[in-house]
Amino acid sequence: MIQRARFLFALLLGFSLIAGACGSDDGDAAAPAPTAAPAPTAAPADSGDDAAAPFECSTDGNLQETSLLLPFPFAVPFFSVFVADSLGYFEEAGLDVSIEFTDGSSAVVQQVVAGSVDFGMSDPGPIIDATALGESLKVPYVFQTGLIYGLVTEDGSPYTSISDFVGETVAVSEATAGEVPFFEALLSSNGVDPEADVQIVETGAGATTAAAFSSGRIVAYFSDYFNLIELGFEVALHSFDLGDFALLHAASVVATDETISEDPNLVACLSRAMARATEFTHANPTGALVAIASKYPDQVGDFSDTGFDMLALNETIVRTKAYPGSSGQWGWNRPASWDHYVDLLSARGALSGDVDSNSLYTNDFIEFANDFDKNAEHAAADALAASLETPAAASDLKEASLRLSWSTLVYDMPFFYALEQGFYADEGIDLEIGEGEGSGTTTQLVGAKNDTFGWADSGTMMLTRSNGAALKNVLVVWRDAGYGTACFNDVGFSEPKDLEGRSVIFIPQESTASIWPAYLDANGVDESKVTVKSADWSNKMTLFAAGEADCMAGYVTQDTLISKLMNPEEIADARPWSSDGIELLGHGIIAHEDTLAEDPELVAGFVRATIRGWQEVCADPQIGIDMYLEKFPDISEADVEWTNRNMFMECDRTHPVGSDPGRALSATNTSQWAAMQDTLNEYGGLENVTDPNDYFTNDFVPGD
């Protein structure tokens, strides 16, 4: 969940923005969330709008249909929408709201302008851009009143001010992420030249950024609060006060001027439902999670105070506090924030025309939106929170987590199938499945006991264990690693030596990168004659398909196949590394040795449930395909084609190949692991040779 949420959240502010500083207009921080229910208040005196009109919401049971488009399908950052929907607040306001999703704020604004939806939730940038192009848009309700990004150092760091970063290396998640222009502007506003005074590098998120801090490679990290939460699981952090930058708002409701003028009741009633939901959530965040889970159970996986969902909700609450100057009213547009955005975009030369910031918003609906019984919302939130009985509390299920090797793909469906069919619950396990960032990162997380189990490449697990992590494989699922190299037809790639003088693209954190040196050395390829180009999961395949590299190293059944489907006329089929002397076991389930010793029943039950899931899905791979397409219905036609082919191919990989004496989902033997160790020791940088039996155990694999 974390990775997909993080990736989607990055879409919210994915535009170039600011080069200058945010000047201070009042010097105030965001007002705290109400702790006692305040009485309804009048519109702020400085709102610049006329007194609120006497709007009316229908109560006759005839619901008015309307639509609201969000930039990604994740509930916590837009809790007011999902709480209002789950608790029936939209219906009580006389509305039947269709909640829809797209890919980022720019797409939201495009659909609003086109009239495809009535309302959208967007950050300010695309709204201002569209207005500069002559579109008539307006924001009647601001939801996220604070910046979604933050700046952190390690707790106890000597760097206490932004000016201390001069001469140092600081990090962002990705060089192309939406956070970069904000960070550059923040540095500039504090007298630090982002180009001359500091080096900005990308470190990804979570474990990879923690490692960068630990090694001393970076001294600070600037990213969205999803990434900061994930990093906080790894490193004790100190957060910087961003001053007025923290008052730059984000997600806001946008509509055309025509929609607002023709149906003001619709705008007012939508705003009131969202304001009620915001009051409810601020009063009791646990109640909000329970409300969301009641209608959207896939959106909430952990109700605990230290779980990701609650941490993310609390950080969102911080960024949805009522503005200073708003008299504590939800949804109020802060004029100074709009002024700052327009000035900064203009200074950057990003606008195609003049924009009057006052034309971008209206506070006409705010008094009506906030005219409800706040005491009732507080009582309802407390009551719903008190009713919480999580699955773990209602039974004797043991909590456990499985870290995938990447973001969720079709070949992960056997795990989700086993979860949804209750196979893990049958074994007394309350399982949470989390996305990964490559097998290298997954093995590190399990080695650090941040996750109970990992779905990871076996060779990468061996390398991580040789560096001190007490890991063991408890079940090999894929009997062949499946590595391969794909090249453009004009490369004439027929053997590994053909890679000399060519460029090859892969992701530094993926298992392919760990085994790459073994592949080159085993085939006498001069590494210095091969140009390696780095990518990340979001762009590896598209970059290769577009010709940014001659070849790509990856998996025969996965990314190389996807790239070929993107450019079938020019890209050749991948050549398996197993054809060139690299015979390795593939992905399997790993766990920490302490887990094996302390809770063998948990491990045995997990393995049994996992085998059931894989057996049933591979008996009919269409089950996995249908599950994946249901979870991700908006994938491209090329991805659908890959999905239809991949699940069958991955099920084939569960069967033994070559001299493998085993069978699908069965025990492995010492000679297989010894051969892998020899290969990695000779070619792949594995230095600490040990007894091959240290890498695996068959104790938890059922017999015939």
Residue 500, pLDDT score: 97
Residue 49, pLDDT score: 43
Residue 684, pLDDT score: 67
Does pLDDT of 563 surpass 80? yes
Residue 30 in any domain: the answer is no
DSSP 629-691: HHH-TT--HHHHHHHHHHHHHHHHTTS--TT----TT----HHHHHHHHHHHHHHS-------
- Give yes or no: residues 368 and 349 share one domain: yes
Stretch 144-158: mean pLDDT: 91
Report CA 465 to chain centroid distance, whole Å: 28
Does pLDDT of 514 surpass 80? no
- Give yes or no: residues 475 and 535 share one domain: no
Query: Phi/psi at 171 (nearest 5 deg)?
Result: -130, 155
List the single range of 17-26, 149-158, 438-447 with lowest mean pLDDT. Answer: 17-26
Residue 46, pLDDT score: 37
- Give yes or no: residues 178 and 234 share one domain: yes
Q: Encode pLDDT of 111-122 as tens digits.
A: 999 999 999 999
Residue 174, pLDDT score: 85
Confidence of residue 606 (pLDDT cuts 50, 70, 90): very high
Q: b/e map of 375-398 (b: 16 or more CB within 10 Å)?
A: eebbebbeebbeeeebeeeeeebb
- Give yes or no: residues 204 and 315 share one domain: no
Query: Phi/psi at 319 (nearest 5 deg)?
Result: -95, 10
Report CA 293 to chain centroid distance, whole Å: 19
Residue 490 in any domain: the answer is yes
Residue 34, pLDDT score: 29
- Give yes or no: residues 223 and 324 share one domain: no
Confidence of residue 353 (pLDDT cuts 50, 70, 90): confident
Confidence of residue 658 (pLDDT cuts 50, 70, 90): low
Residue 39 in any domain: the answer is no
Residue 5, pLDDT score: 46
Confidence of residue 660 (pLDDT cuts 50, 70, 90): low
Residue 480, pLDDT score: 86
Residue type present at position 441 = T
Stretch 344-366: mean pLDDT: 86
3-state secondary structure string across 133-159: CCCCEEEEEECCCCCCEEEEEECCCCC
Residue 657, pLDDT score: 65
DSSP 203-222: --STHHHHHHHHTTS-SEEE
* Whole-angstrom distance, CA of residue 514 vs CA of residue 685: 9
Instruction: Name the CA radius of gyration of the chain, rounded.
Output: 27
Residue 212, pLDDT score: 87
> Distance from first CA to last CA of the chain, Å, rounded?
35
- Given 530, 549, 580, the domain boundary residue is 580
* Whole-angstrom distance, CA of residue 25 vs CA of residue 335: 10
Structural domain total, the chain: 4
- Give yes or no: residues 141 and 285 share one domain: yes
Q: In Å, what is the CA distance from 156 to each residue of 4, 150, 238, 283, 316?
A: 31, 17, 7, 33, 26
Stretch 116-136: mean pLDDT: 93
* Whole-angstrom distance, CA of residue 670 vs CA of residue 690: 12
- Given 580, 597, 613, the domain boundary residue is 580
- Give yes or no: residues 135 and 259 share one domain: yes
DSSP 8-state code for residue 64: E
* Whole-angstrom distance, CA of residue 677 vs CA of residue 384: 55
* Whole-angstrom distance, CA of residue 564 vs CA of residue 573: 7
Residue 40 in any domain: the answer is no
List the single range of 75-84, 312-321, 470-479, 684-693 with lowest mean pLDDT. Answer: 684-693
**At CB < 8 A and 24+ separation, what contacts does 615-620 make?**
615/665, 616/414, 616/417, 616/421, 617/413, 617/414, 617/417, 617/647, 617/651, 618/414, 618/651, 618/654, 618/664
List the single range of 30-44, 362-376, 403-417 with lowest mean pLDDT. Answer: 30-44
- Give yes or no: residues 524 and 506 share one domain: yes
Domain of residue 534, CATH code:
3.40.190.10
Strands 483-487 and 575-576: antiparallel
- Give yes or no: residues 576 and 591 share one domain: no
Stretch 395-402: mean pLDDT: 84
DSSP 8-state code for residue 571: B
Q: Which residue has the tokens 């939730």?
A: 121
Confidence of residue 54 (pLDDT cuts 50, 70, 90): confident
Residue 494, pLDDT score: 96
Query: Phi/psi at 252 (nearest 5 deg)?
Result: -140, 150
Residue type present at position 237 = L
- Give yes or no: residues 253 and 227 share one domain: no
Residue 582, pLDDT score: 83
Stretch 605-624: mean pLDDT: 95
Residue 686 in any domain: the answer is yes
Query: Phi/psi at 487 (nearest 5 deg)?
Result: -135, 165
- Given 351, 377, 403, the domain boundary residue is 377
List the single range of 24-28, 74-78, 106-110, 561-565 with lowest mean pLDDT. Answer: 24-28
Mean pLDDT of the chain, nearest integer? 86
The closest alpha carbon to 473, from 486, 464, 482, belongs to: 464
Q: In what order do the strands lie in the sheet with 398-403?
A: 429-434, 398-403, 453-457, 587-592, 471-476
Confidence of residue 584 (pLDDT cuts 50, 70, 90): confident
Does pLDDT of 3 surpass 50? no
Residue 16 in any domain: the answer is no
CA atoms within 13 A on the CB side of 227: 28
- Give yes or no: residues 297 and 442 share one domain: no
Residue 37, pLDDT score: 28
Length of the chain: 704
E strands, 213-293, are: 220-224, 237-239, 252-256
Which is higher by pLDDT, 530 or 657?
530
The closest alpha carbon to 611, from 472, 424, 456, 457, belongs to: 424
- Give yes or no: residues 225 and 330 share one domain: no
Q: Encode pLDDT of 418-437 as tens digits.
A: 999 999 999 999 999 999 88
List the single range of 42-56, 329-343, 627-641, 653-667 with lowest mean pLDDT. Answer: 42-56
Domain, as residue range, for 519 = 483-580
Residue 179 in any domain: the answer is yes
Does pLDDT of 10 surpass 80? no
Confidence of residue 364 (pLDDT cuts 50, 70, 90): very high
SS3 content of the chain, % helix, strand, coil (to 5): 45, 15, 40
* Whole-angstrom distance, CA of residue 573 vs CA of residue 484: 9
Q: Encode pLDDT of 20-44 as tens digits.
A: 333 333 333 333 232 222 233 333 3
Does pLDDT of 210 surpass 90? no
Residue 520, pLDDT score: 93
Task: Please give the structure tokens belonging to residue 583.
Answer: 């015979």
Residue 659, pLDDT score: 63
Confidence of residue 328 (pLDDT cuts 50, 70, 90): very high
Residue 223 in any domain: the answer is yes
Confidence of residue 663 (pLDDT cuts 50, 70, 90): confident
Report CA 477 to chain centroid distance, whole Å: 26
Confidence of residue 268 (pLDDT cuts 50, 70, 90): very high
Residue type present at position 546 = A
